[in-house]
Structure 1
């Protein structure tokens, strides 16, 4: 058991000063004051939270846990992420995925990496597939993967409007969305089709066409990278206004002529009186971030970092957003959208995934599934092959 005493709690709503008791992997009690019998009571680890802020652990729904890349050749394949790459950056739940390369990276390797991180101490899920359509699967279909594999919650990242995609037809996308949705219905999972939006001329047009010409609900579709240029950012606002849900990439900064940072686009969305529960944010960590010229030649290659999630929260607050508004896209919004029960909030009976921040919003302590993973700004639990 862990008792966090007298901490400022955001749920993500502000709840004032509270004490939080965790027991095994759950939050068992939240109150203004918690006392224990003096005799014959199990050992409780006590954390003084007087100068700290408690928020839910971050949910990153788009992260290349077993590496990605390869757009510049085999030497450009990005490495796998280690446990502390995630915990030191506040991530207690992640959804792993493949990207451009569905050949040298495959679903078997992705599932294995997800299970390894789960064993080491965080919660993991996966999207099935990669950029291409027909996409890569473990079973004979996307529907089969979602129904039969516990880790798989939907399909992604399927690429559209990108010179690296397989140019799926309108019928291809509708069929894939239907397969994903039905897999979710049968298995009780979210059944979301998670789509990568590139810099192509059509932007989000394929997504608008999918909505217009099929019966797929908005709740089964989640486009991402929508802050990458002015075209898709503008279309994202239109999509939100008709009821859609979007994911914004924290790893995309104000680079080039039209890219926007995640906090910048999010702030514009809130000013349009759009619910923050229609927005999620994710890092694209571990994924390559290539820059191509107008002829499709690779000119620069960087790697997404998990640190951009917490950096975006700090930037949101610096821009004048409240703590609640700033953390919703990383906590309660993805938990609700992806049907992660008992995640994304600090409530009794919920998973004991939480972050203790200092007044500068640096991570002082991170608890995942009731286990202290980071304490006094340093990891206390390492991945199997990490040097402690």
Structure 2
């Protein structure tokens, strides 16, 4: 059986473990110890000297448009499908695929097929049923059946407080959350409601109303894009302090002249006493990023990239002064707990999946392992998608 021994790396699991050896056998981590000898081993072991390097869990991205998104300015503005090398280059080893504005020319069937393909190529994938619209687009005809009977479906996506959403009612959103919750309980999945938030004036009000006036627990909802406006972010911090989970989108870290970067928002969460285990980061990768003028018309379009999350991590440590072991949680263990895959994912410990990054002290990603398979070496992607 294939085995790899990473020696003498500084391990953040994400907690700081100091200099350790990490042994991977097959797709899992076998052990992490100060010294792991290999003399006399019957295994064929590849040894990697990581002295002076950081060894951290692979990043988890819970919001990726793996079959593309967009379309807001016509058919030519539909963004392309994701390719494997873009995932590996970003240090991501687990992703959740979803639909966006377009639930007409994009389908859950295609989303599922793409997720299966990416998994065959080497990473771990999940998907959400639904899109912006209500009633939800599904594969089986219902949210409950999709979550219960389709292996990769772990929750449902919906949009609120956005001029592109379906203007669903409180009752419709509550019913959706109830269906997802029960389906998750019956199938052993999170059954989460992943909520796209726009810049609308209602912000999180509908979710807060449901939490306050029904028995649906607050952690059933995972609102994302919560830093679109200062007012929304202030409400989101309160939501997280109440026990809710909030997701910060990383793409604006790349926007020149951005007044409020995700790395700054994360540092603010720490400073304001927001429970950091309730805060995560995702990229909105491969989705369209429309730019609007003052009249609300789209005047430009870009595409989200998964790499933005890695940049947020770098800036969080280097510019905001957040400890490495704390910063990494937003991209690894916190996300894994939201997706109910911890400690299989999101940490480095015995029996966890061997999803591992080796970084230099400037936080440049040098090596990527996904389920024990080396996907990047010396900063170059060595495993690519079928048609790359």
TM-score range normalised by the length of the shorter chain = over 0.9
**Distance between the aligned counterparts of 2:257 and 2:50, measured in 1?**
44
Matches within 5 A, 1:1-388: 1-38=3-40, 41-156=42-157, 158-253=158-253, 260-318=260-318, 319-341=320-342, 342-386=344-388
Mind listing any 5+ residue stretches in structure 1 that lack a counterpart?
none
- 8 Å CA contact 2:189–2:340 kept in 1: the answer is yes
**Closer, same or farther in 2 for the Cα pair 1:258/1:134, shift >3 Å?**
farther
- 8 Å CA contact 2:7–2:51 kept in 1: the answer is yes
**Distance between the aligned counterparts of 2:88 and 2:290, measured in 1?**
26
Shift of 1:37: 3.2
**Distance between the aligned counterparts of 1:258 and 1:161, measured in 2?**
22
**Distance between the aligned counterparts of 1:25 and 1:189, measured in 2?**
22
**Distance between the aligned counterparts of 2:88 and 2:308, measured in 1?**
13
**Closer, same or farther in 2 for the Cα pair 1:58/1:257, shift >3 Å?**
closer
DSSP 3-state at the match of 1:34: coil
Mind listing any 5+ residue stretches in structure 2 that lack a counterpart?
none
**Distance between the aligned counterparts of 1:126 and 1:67, measured in 2?**
13
Q: What number of residue pairs does the alignment pair up?
A: 384
TM-score (norm 1): 0.96
- 8 Å CA contact 1:132–1:159 kept in 2: the answer is yes
Shift of 1:294: 4.6
**Distance between the aligned counterparts of 1:238 and 1:146, measured in 2?**
29
**Distance between the aligned counterparts of 2:257 and 2:336, measured in 1?**
33
- 8 Å CA contact 1:222–1:246 kept in 2: the answer is yes
**Distance between the aligned counterparts of 2:135 and 2:206, measured in 1?**
16
- 8 Å CA contact 2:253–2:311 kept in 1: the answer is no
Shift of 1:229: 1.1
- CA RMSD, 1 decimal: 1.4
**Distance between the aligned counterparts of 2:184 and 2:322, measured in 1?**
34
**Distance between the aligned counterparts of 2:103 and 2:182, measured in 1?**
24
**Distance between the aligned counterparts of 1:241 and 1:15, measured in 2?**
29
- 8 Å CA contact 1:228–1:259 kept in 2: the answer is no
Shift of 1:214: 1.5
- 8 Å CA contact 1:227–1:252 kept in 2: the answer is no
**Distance between the aligned counterparts of 1:185 and 1:252, measured in 2?**
35
**Distance between the aligned counterparts of 1:19 and 1:131, measured in 2?**
46
DSSP 3-state at the match of 1:300: strand
**Distance between the aligned counterparts of 1:18 and 1:258, measured in 2?**
39
**Distance between the aligned counterparts of 1:359 and 1:46, measured in 2?**
20
**Distance between the aligned counterparts of 2:313 and 2:224, measured in 1?**
18
**Distance between the aligned counterparts of 1:289 and 1:379, measured in 2?**
26
**Distance between the aligned counterparts of 1:138 and 1:195, measured in 2?**
19
- 8 Å CA contact 1:61–1:282 kept in 2: the answer is yes
**Distance between the aligned counterparts of 1:36 and 1:361, measured in 2?**
29
Deviation string 1:104-147 (CA, Å, 9 cap, x unpaired) is 11100100000000000000000111000101000121111000
